[in-house]
Amino acid sequence: MDNSAPTQDSDIWFEDGNIILEVEKTLFKVHRSILATHSPVFKKIFDEQSQFYQSPTTVPRLTCYDKAAHIKLLLQGVYNTTSFEGKTQCDHLKEAAGMIIMGGKYGVDFLFQRAVKNLSTIFPTTLDKWDQHSQSLVNSLISVAEQVDLIHALTVARVTWILPAAVYGCFAYRKPEEILASKFGNAPSMQTAFLLLFVNHVRLCRRGVSFVASLPAQDCSAKNECDGLTRRFYLDTLTWTSNDPLGFTSEESKKFKELVNQLCSKCSDKCSQAHKDSREAIWSDLPKVYGIGGSWAELKASEGNVASHLQFLAQVKNTASR
Ligand SMILES: [Zn+2]
């Protein structure tokens, strides 16, 4: 067991502060008024035990059962309300899960909303926007463990419309063993659920090449050749190991282009169209495949208002201001 004494945070320690937050092994000396202005939860704590917190002789301590890094994010947010605004979409990806968790728990709306806005552009609701965005950039910025934490935070906060793309990105571009080796720090019970979702995702992968079933085209001008080419292509796909049914690896892309070029013109058109349609169908099914909701339309209905979550926040505020 770690018996070392907690130490002062190097950044957030105001000599004229009147409350010390103790989190894990870190101490933050801050101001009750600043916390109470931005957080109805802190306001409530200070109001309810005002005698204790207004002691003239000692600076009172409050223990928070959070991660020190998360509390630090919250404090950086309330002391500098323009922080985390972000110049680019990915600027604060690393902090996003913490902002969602802290913003939700302590009722700091703007922190929560800022993270949601940020994430909504990285994990879009349409295939067009998904195609415009580089998911490999996402993977280079956050670790698997951070990605899993983020998905968990979004699930708890019910930010459902961001989830399908976030889960897809994790399953499609991370190695399964990497995902399973991650500690599921905030929610060990999530591991089983995640495994089941991964199985659904792997099933989805075969659908990525289901377009070959539409070949040869009815008006094909070279049935034997086109049939042969299609069969050989399909057999080859059985050896593919990518988990990204919405995209081809460069090698797969080369083979797909070869197929399209070698087919007769009717089959070539049919093949391109069927491939496009199958991607649309896969995207459209993501909410259902991952058990997040019935359809994109259903998820999008709560986009931007975070309905159930903000209702919860409002309740906290009402009790706090009573
Ligand atoms: Zn043909």
pLDDT of 290-310, one tens digit each? 999 889 999 888 776 554 555
Angstrom CA distances, 272 to 114, 252, 268, 276, stand at 39, 15, 6, 6
196 C-alpha to ligand 1 centroid (Å): 39
Alpha-carbon dihedral 123, 127, 133, 135, rounded to 10 degrees: 60
β strands within the chain, DSSP E: 7-13, 19-23, 26-30, 61-64
The gap from C-alpha 321 to its chain's centroid, in whole angstroms, comes to 33
pLDDT in the model for residue 80: 87
223 C-alpha to ligand 1 centroid (Å): 5
159 C-alpha to ligand 1 centroid (Å): 46
pLDDT in the model for residue 124: 92
119, 94 contact by CB (below 8 A): no
- Confirm whether 200 is domain-assigned: no
34 C-alpha to ligand 1 centroid (Å): 71
- 262 pLDDT more than 80: yes
- Confirm whether 159 is domain-assigned: no
pLDDT in the model for residue 286: 96
C-alpha to C-alpha distance for 6 and 12, rounded to whole angstroms = 14
Among 100-104, 182-186, 278-282, the minimum mean pLDDT is found in 182-186
272 C-alpha to ligand 1 centroid (Å): 13
pLDDT in the model for residue 321: 42
- Confirm whether 284 is domain-assigned: yes
- The set of long-range contacts for 206-213, using a CB threshold of 8 Å and a minimum separation of 24, is 206/245, 207/245, 207/278, 207/281, 207/282, 208/244, 208/245, 208/246, 208/278, 208/279, 208/282, 209/234, 209/237, 209/240, 209/245, 210/278, 211/271, 211/274, 211/275, 211/277, 211/278, 212/237, 212/271, 212/274
- Confirm whether 70 is domain-assigned: no
Q: Token pair of 5, please?
A: 């004494």
Eight-state DSSP code of residue 6:
P
C-alpha to C-alpha distance for 138 and 224, rounded to whole angstroms = 44
Number of domains in the chain: 1
Name the more confident of 160 and 176: 160
* Residue 220's pLDDT band (cuts 50, 70, 90): very high
214 C-alpha to ligand 1 centroid (Å): 11
pTM of the model: 0.84
253 C-alpha to ligand 1 centroid (Å): 20
- Confirm whether 91 is domain-assigned: no
* Residue 168's pLDDT band (cuts 50, 70, 90): very high
C-alpha to C-alpha distance for 119 and 96, rounded to whole angstroms = 8
- Confirm whether 211 is domain-assigned: yes
pLDDT in the model for residue 302: 77
- 182 pLDDT more than 60: yes
Sign of CA dihedral 68, 69, 70, 76: positive
- Confirm whether 66 is domain-assigned: no
Averaged over 189-196, what is the pLDDT? 80
Q: Token pair of 237, please?
A: 């796909």
Domain that residue 228 falls in: 206-289
Side chain identity at 128, as an amino acid letter? D
- Confirm whether 80 is domain-assigned: no
